[in-house]
Amino acid sequence: MIQPAAYLYLAAILFAVGLVGVLIRREAIIIFMCIELMLNAVNLTFVTFSRLLGSIDGQVIVFFSLAVAAAEVVVGLGIIVAIFRHRATTDVDQLNLLKL
């Protein structure tokens, strides 16, 4: 049986990888995927503590979090595709939509 600490270490590593990706990478799609990776790390933590405490509350939060994340992906990818069609790049350093 795997100890709960192993899941928490895995979640911490996944969150750290996502955070480094957000801070270092410049492509909008990669940043978006790293944010999703961070969200999944938090979901793993919720499920681990839910299992550890014997409560279903954490799993319910994860269910709603995944539903919101699915909607976020649809809207976020739509915005990224629209920006790419308009600017022909997804480099966040070159995207300044407030200027014409």
Domain that holds residue 71: 4-87
d(CA 47, CA 66): 12
Residue 94 is assigned to a structural domain of this protein:
no
Q: What is the pLDDT along the chain (100 residues), one digit of tens a residue?
A: 899 999 999 999 999 999 999 999 989 999 999 999 999 999 999 999 999 999 999 999 999 999 999 999 999 999 889 888 988 888 888 877 656 5
Total domains in the chain come to: 1
Residue 98 is assigned to a structural domain of this protein:
no
Q: Specify the CATH number for the domain of residue 35.
A: 1.10.287.3510
Residue 15 is assigned to a structural domain of this protein:
yes
d(CA 78, CA 74): 6
Residue 35 is assigned to a structural domain of this protein:
yes
What is the pTM assigned to this prediction?
A: 0.86
